Amino acid sequence: MIVTQPRISTTVVTLIATALSLASTFLFGYSVKEAMRYLLQKPRTLVEVSAGVALIQGSHISMWGAKGFHLIPKWKYAWPSVATWCVFGVTSLLVTGWTTLLAPTLVSCRYDVQGTELNMTSPAFSHLLGIELDVYSPSMIHDASFPIIDVGGPVSGIAAAGISFGMPGIINFNQAKYNLSTGGLLAAVRHYAGSQILAGHAGTRLSFSGGTTAANARPTHGSSGSVRDWLGIQRNFSLYQQGITADIDCYAATASSQALNFTNVNTTIHVTPPGNTSLPYSLVVWSSTAHCNTNSTATQEYVTWANASGQPDPAGTGFLPTVVCPRHRNETDIYSKFVIAAQGFYKYDFLPSTICEVTPLVTTTRVSYSNGGIINASQIISKQTFSPDDAYLLFFLAGVTNYHARNSQGLMNNIIGDTLYSTYSAEFNTPIASNTSAVYRELEDYWRGVIEFTATFLRAGYSAEGAFRDGIPSNMTSAVNGTMTMLTIGWANRGPFYMLSVLPIAIVTFLTVIAATYSLLHSCKQQHLPHQQTSFDVSDTLQLIMACSGGGLTKSLADGDLTSKLSGFDMQGLIDNERIKIKLEENGNTKKLVIAK
């Protein structure tokens, strides 16, 4: 309410503050009234009695000891007036004090967060991944039967391709939302982890198709079952996690030291559909080959559409063959990167024969989990290339890249080519063919998005509930740590002004306690003296008149003895009456206010 409806929040606080102010004033007046019962058992001046009545009624008196026309202060009698004015001012500020005290504010609390996640570069995981990749025939890793999600990769690549131009994009994977790219990591906080449906044993690891994944990062102040885990208006997390990304460098094949001899040959097949209502057309069968090293080549086959004469429509047909060399370019090199060869034809002819060198990296990423459920994994703290122990992970990334490279091509268009063209056109008015460097930058971001998504998919498969019998083994995990910032409603010291505004509450409370304590002590003393237990209410006008009448304060004696009667209402009479002391005398139901001797 404090955030969404501040006016209602202010109204509620004001009403509560008013009620508490009335209650505080009542308790103060009641405690003073009780104290006056016992104070009147001893002689008190009329000024003191008048001040007591004013305090009970929440009012004040003005008796400054004036004599004639000369204001000669008599502080002996003026202090009750000062006291009543001070208390009157304090009680008048009670509403302000209570409002200030009760008015909520947004309070930010910070907690340390700890947890664990799958360590994709641990020797134990690398060994397990190698065993399972053997089941899927590593030499044919790019085969269509390889069980991966083939939608998220292009989507992630498309979103990442817009980064260079500042275009927004949200990646939704397993119901978790990532900003621009997944960063090769997985949500470590349960609230952001996405799907809560168990994947089952058959739907985990390399066969992962969605489901609950391990997310055990929690604030150190409580467990996930604690009430504190869900309190607060909003919670933001900032965690340090392991991610996977890639440094990608794309350039023209003519300027490349990678002599891939990328070639594209084709054969046209004329097709005549049965019947007379369909027009004949042609299919162009392509074979794209790259010489990855002296011992092997990589070949990819494609089929595109053409008209009956075997000619494609240059404006409507796009062909972007892409071949991945998943292994070493040179057998003596350390296996830490792979190469992609591509070339655009027809409406994609803005992309010349191109080589992209892909160097996957292991990162330490500062991941921000916002209140809107968005995971931002763009702030990389540190990064390093893969070690020789990560060969299977690198081979997996290369194989999935090749899978997407092949399946992105359709009969008349290519997902990658359309992404490059549409993203560029949204930012620039100049022809795309005249800005090859911008196209290369887009292509680099696209493949980086695919690599990061692939790593996230693999991490999700082995982090899924059911992937391991007793959870992820400890020798395959790494620590997750960071902080949680929780925004909640609270009350805080706002400095001297805040202390000054709540001072009236403290003063009234202090005076109430003093008056109540005084009454309680005298009440305890008189419990065994029933005849001294008073029920006189000096603030009740009727009881006051009756007590004055019973005590003879209204009588005028002939000798004019001032000790036995009150003077008149003239200035001198009022001044003389200030010195007169009275006390309460009781005898059963008879109560008298008499002048003390």
For residue 276, pLDDT over 80 is answered with no
Q: What is the rounded CA–CA span in Å between residue 154 and residue 140?
A: 21
Q: What is the rounded CA–CA span in Å between residue 197 and residue 204?
A: 12
Q: What pLDDT is recorded for position 4?
A: 57
Helix, strand or coil, per DSSP, at residue 185: coil
Pull the structure tokens for residue 409.
Answer: 């091509």
Contact between 324 and 401 under an 8 Å Cβ cutoff? The reply is yes
Range from 115-119, 213-217, 295-299, 318-322 carrying the lowest mean pLDDT: 295-299
Q: What is the rounded CA–CA span in Å between residue 302 and residue 287?
A: 7
What are residue 369's DSSP bridge partners? 237, 375
156-165, 318-327, 358-367: which has the highest mean pLDDT? 358-367
Pull the structure tokens for residue 56.
Answer: 């009970």
Contacts for 317 with CB less than 8 Å, ≥ 6 apart: 304, 305, 306, 346, 347, 412, 413
* Sign of the torsion angle spanned by Cα atoms 498, 500, 504, 506: positive
Name the pTM for this structure. Answer: 0.70
Contact between 578 and 564 under an 8 Å Cβ cutoff? The reply is no
Q: What is the rounded CA–CA span in Å between residue 29 and residue 25?
A: 6
E strand or H helix that includes residue 7 = helix 6-39
Q: How many CB atoms lie within 10 A of CB 358?
A: 24
Contact between 153 and 147 under an 8 Å Cβ cutoff? The reply is no
Contacts for 81 with CB less than 8 Å, ≥ 6 apart: 47, 51, 60, 61, 62, 63, 64
Percent of the chain surpassing pLDDT 70:
77
Q: Which residue has the tokens 């998005």?
A: 449
Confidence of residue 563 (pLDDT cuts 50, 70, 90): very low
Type of residue found at 46: L
Q: What is the rounded CA–CA span in Å between residue 216 and residue 22?
A: 50
Confidence of residue 70 (pLDDT cuts 50, 70, 90): very low
Q: What pLDDT is recorded for position 364?
A: 95
CA 227, distance to chain mean position in Å, is 17
Termini Cα distance of the chain? 65
What are residue 282's DSSP bridge partners? 270, 306
Q: What is the rounded CA–CA span in Å between residue 512 and residue 531?
A: 27
Q: What is the rounded CA–CA span in Å between residue 581 and residue 95?
A: 36
CA distances from 447 to 142, 397, 400 (A): 16, 11, 11
Contact between 117 and 463 under an 8 Å Cβ cutoff? The reply is yes
Q: What is the rounded CA–CA span in Å between residue 477 and residue 481?
A: 13
Q: What is the rounded CA–CA span in Å between residue 182 and residue 96?
A: 51
Tens digits of per-residue pLDDT, 218-252? 888 654 445 455 567 788 899 999 999 999 999 88
Which phi and psi angles does 3 have, rounded to 5°? -95, -50
Q: What pLDDT is recorded for position 154?
A: 60
Q: What pLDDT is recorded for position 272?
A: 80
Percent of the chain surpassing pLDDT 90:
22
> How many residues in total does the chain contain?
597
Contact between 589 and 574 under an 8 Å Cβ cutoff? The reply is no
Which phi and psi angles does 335 have, rounded to 5°? -75, 95
Q: What pLDDT is recorded for position 245?
A: 94
- Mean pLDDT confidence for 49-53: 79
Confidence of residue 140 (pLDDT cuts 50, 70, 90): very low
Q: What is the rounded CA–CA span in Å between residue 188 and residue 115?
A: 8
DSSP 8-state assignment for residue 213: B
Pull the structure tokens for residue 597.
Answer: 């001797």
Tens digits of per-residue pLDDT, 522-562? 777 766 655 555 667 777 777 767 777 666 665 544 444 44
C-alpha angle 175-176-181 in degrees, rounded to nearest 5: 125
Helix, strand or coil, per DSSP, at residue 136: coil
Cα atoms in the 13 Å half-sphere on the side-chain side of 454: 25
Tens digits of per-residue pLDDT, 444-481? 988 998 899 899 999 998 999 888 988 899 999 999 99
Tens digits of per-residue pLDDT, 78-90? 777 788 888 888 8
Q: DSSP readout, 478-501?
A: EEEEEEEEEEEEE-----HHHHHH
For residue 267, pLDDT over 80 is answered with yes
Confidence of residue 147 (pLDDT cuts 50, 70, 90): very low
For residue 442, pLDDT over 50 is answered with yes
Range from 63-77, 410-424, 497-511, 548-562 carrying the lowest mean pLDDT: 63-77
Q: Which residue has the tokens 């090859």?
A: 436
* Sign of the torsion angle spanned by Cα atoms 441, 446, 451, 455: positive
CA dihedral 378, 384, 390, 393 (to 10 degrees): 20
What are residue 248's DSSP bridge partners? 358
Q: What is the rounded CA–CA span in Å between residue 237 and residue 111?
A: 9
Q: What pLDDT is recorded for position 91?
A: 83
Q: What pLDDT is recorded for position 490?
A: 72
Please state whether beta strands 176-179 and 374-385 pair in parallel, antiparallel, or not at all (unpaired).
parallel
- Mean pLDDT confidence for 584-591: 70
Q: DSSP readout, 351-371?
A: S-SEEEEEEEEEEEEEEEE-T
* Sign of the torsion angle spanned by Cα atoms 174, 160, 392, 480: negative
Q: Which residue has the tokens 């027009």?
A: 279
E strand or H helix that includes residue 298 = strand 296-306
Pull the structure tokens for residue 267.
Answer: 């054969």
The pLDDT mean for the chain works out to 79
CA dihedral 219, 221, 227, 230 (to 10 degrees): -30
